Amino acid sequence: MLKKEKIMVVVDAPGPAEFIETAIPLLQKKNELLVVTVNTKANAAYNVLKKYNPERCNHKEDAEKIYKDFNPDILVVAMSSLVLGPYVNNRFTELAHASGKKIICFQDFWANHRWPMNYKMMKYWDKVLAPDKLARKFLKEDDYAGKIVITGNPNLDRFKKLNKEKDRKWLRKKFGLTDNDFVILYVGRGTPNAWQYDEITFEFFAKGVRKLQNEMKNKNIRVVIRPHPRDEESERYNKFSQGLNLLGTSQFPSSEDLLPLFDLIAGIQSANHVEACYLRIPAVCILLPNAGKITMEKLSLSDFPPNIIGANIGIYRDNTDEFVLVLKKMIEDKKFTASIQKTQKKYFPLPKTSAAKKVAEEILKG
């Protein structure tokens, strides 16, 4: 009979929480499991995983007692997104290393191992569960010496069964939209370490959309703003959104549930830009020199990978006229959008197998 493992899962941000969420029931079947969430003011990771009754650990000083009380056989730790701390993930990793336990790290987004608080932990990870080949490439470039397993991102498993056109029709009817309405999602990045770049980007975006609406009287340009789950300022976008035709969607807690509604996705690089590729939704990734470009440089990336291959369209200059021309082309030029969707289909094929099952299997292998 296989030994019943004691598995501790530590998560500090909504992206990693969504990655591991559907693998948790598979891990619980024959094992003792403790989920720990690290919570900033927004409680984002906890909100995703609250149905699993997670232990809350908001300060690294509290980690040792939680760790010793549970005494796990395997530590499964998210690659941290909390650039400004608290560095609770690191403390759990140090404790597991000191006690000789297996440490498995899972990564939901390319190259975030390059954040300083993650980079110094790489030497402790026995195995990294990576979302795709590109994530593996970046890890190898930085001389990660442990095992890398491409599992896929379990959060994308749901797209296999999604009927985009059916959901789109239902959502547009629910919101009273017509064929004349062109709906743009602005994906917020107002996290504690990136809010200033997000505000610069949204101001640029809003200026461009107002100009677009003035020049395209035959289209009704609607804008949906979805703040980042870790945004601590609820009124952030009000000062820049005057004159935009906003569409309220607060009755839908999850942005992912709304994706089929949108004709275009915009903002600094985000998980929603990647999900847009899987749903064949055109997207613009705005990387201005004094904003989004800086967030890329902090990860030692020259550009957002989907921009490089043409699966998203990159905006790099603080030039509203150029931005508006791109938006017009995406609205009017069907061949242009079709070429984007063709590239998305090539590089972002829908998952054929369960990533959640693969993640659970790799964790149980230790």
Q: Is the pLDDT of residue 264 over 50?
A: yes
Average pLDDT over residues 117-137: 94
Instruction: Please state, in angstroms and as integers, the Cα–Cα distance from residue 356 to each residue in 74, 131, 151, 154, 204, following that order.
Output: 18, 11, 8, 5, 38
pLDDT value of residue 1: 41
Closest-CA residue to 12 (of 102, 109, 83): 83
Give the fold, CATH level 3, of 162-347: Rossmann fold (3.40.50)
- Is residue 286 within 8 A of residue 201, CB to CB? The reply is yes
Return mean pLDDT, the chain.
93
Residue spans of the domains in the chain: they are 6-152+352-365, 162-347
Which amino acid appears at position 260 of this protein? P
- pLDDT above 70: percentage of residues in the chain: 99
Which amino acid appears at position 320 of this protein? T
Could you read off the pLDDT of 340-361 as tens digits, one per residue?
A: 999 999 999 988 899 999 999 9
Helix residue spans in 175-257 (DSSP H): 195-215
pLDDT value of residue 105: 97
Could you read off the pLDDT of 172-224 as tens digits, one per residue?
A: 999 999 999 999 999 999 998 899 999 999 999 999 999 999 999 889 999 99
What does DSSP assign to residue 192?
A: T
Model confidence band, residue 366 (pLDDT cutoffs 50, 70, 90): confident
pLDDT value of residue 2: 57
**What's the predicted TM-score (pTM) here?**
0.89
Average pLDDT over residues 114-124: 92
Average pLDDT over residues 155-170: 92
Widest distance between CA atoms in the chain: 70
Average pLDDT over residues 239-243: 93
Could you read off the pLDDT of 20-73 as tens digits, one per residue?
A: 999 999 999 989 999 999 987 778 899 999 999 999 998 989 999 999 999 999
- Whether 6-152+352-365 shares its CATH topology with 162-347 is answered yes
In words, the CATH class of domain 6-152+352-365 is alpha beta
pLDDT value of residue 357: 96
- pLDDT above 90: percentage of residues in the chain: 83
What does DSSP assign to residue 65?
A: H
pLDDT value of residue 16: 94
pLDDT value of residue 42: 74
pLDDT value of residue 177: 96
Site of tokens 């019943």: 4
Site of tokens 């200026």: 207
pLDDT value of residue 256: 84
